[in-house]
Amino acid sequence: MRKLIAVILCTLLALTALSGCATTGGSAEPASSAGDTIYVLGPTPDHGWTAQAGVYAESTVAQINEAGEWNAVYISASTGEEQVDQVNTILANGDAVGVVFFALEDSARAGQEALIAADIPFISFDRIIEGPDQYSILNASGDNWQCGAGIAYWLVENGMVPGSTMVTLIGDNGTVCSRRQEGFEQFLLGELEYSDEHTGETYGIETPWTQEEIDALCADYQNVCNWSADAAYEYLEQKLPEIVTAAKENDGNLYIYSMDDEMTFGMLGLIESNALDAQTKTDLEDLNVYISAIGGMAELYAVMDGTGAQSPTAEQYFEDMMSVYFSPKMMQNVIGYMLDYLEGNWEYEIGEGKYEPVWIVDANNVSEYEGFTGHSN
């Protein structure tokens, strides 16, 4: 089936002048369709950021159906391959007027390619798969470059300099984290400023770093944790004694660049476990530890505002902590963009990106924001 999809796709792309979906030189126009159904593909609600995005999607789909103008269906999945199968089912149904596609993995590419071949408009959300993104009517996500820039700014403000000891906890190898890393490095290079939606201010770096200094900062301690607190726990359980020793012998500062709230919880869980030897915990407490996160889980906000069960641990072992606001509520907005498209209220070009603003949340402003329930202990 995938080979057949690929053949069809190549044929259609060779005839781009005849394909409304492959137009790149003008605003998208709603595709003519006998269907009336908006399909929303997303995660199976269980826990974490993606699950909460699914909860918001289900709620928005219910509102659309209640309004009665369009039929809307939310289809959840656990893997990208499962989403490909779901697209094949959608095509067989023959009633799709548009698809909001939250790809769970890059393996969902074949599903997006099938929509392109069938000339069904789709919006790519959060994980932007390169290639099909050229033909999406919109690529929507939080501003991942600004997530990285914000963390770089915050770490520098807290004393990070070339030669510092830093740990990088990566979600996965998709565009979300690659863009966060790009933003992080671009800030340090002086190529990108951090714009804070909360303060209304824009911040740059006074003395830009060299690429060699950035490479050295990121070289020793980084791990792909698959957005998992448990995976972060396991990596840090193995490496933290070495990391703590390195920071202790360096300047007494340890910087943790965590690309998601869940992985920050992995660090907290490890400290509270019996897995670390007494000397490592003593040395860790003596360090100045600055730990970041991205998301906005209510459980992490409770740690920061002092009301959470793990607040004493954070206060004892961390000099400071933060989480870049990156709310799963944005999935509601993305479904709204599809309604705008279908109703002719559209100003975007094929393949264009729309990136929602993000900002630093810490103990100083956490009381002003409502987190989402996401972490499972």
Tokens of 332: 């509601």
Q: Please give the pLDDT value at position 46.
A: 64
- Residue with token string 């004892």: 316
Domains of the chain: 2-136 (3.40.50.2300), 144-327+360-368 (3.40.50.2300)
* DSSP annotation of 135: T
Contact present, 372 and 297 (Cβ < 8 Å): yes
Q: Please give the pLDDT value at position 144.
A: 97
Q: Please give the pLDDT value at position 99.
A: 98
- Residue with token string 């600055």: 290
Contact present, 88 and 114 (Cβ < 8 Å): yes
List, as one string, the DSSP characters of 271-303.
Answer: HHSS-S-HHHHHHHHHSEEEE--EE-BHHHHHH
Strands (E), 151-215: 165-170, 194-195, 202-203
**Pairing relationship of beta strands 202-203 and 194-195 according to DSSP bridges:** antiparallel
Q: Please give the pLDDT value at position 47.
A: 64
Q: Please give the pLDDT value at position 377.
A: 55
Phi/psi for 100 (5° steps) reads -95, 120
- Measured distance CA(187)–CA(204) in Å, rounded: 7
Q: pTM to 2 decimals?
A: 0.87
Q: Which residues of the chain have pLDDT under 70?
A: 1-34, 46-47, 375-377
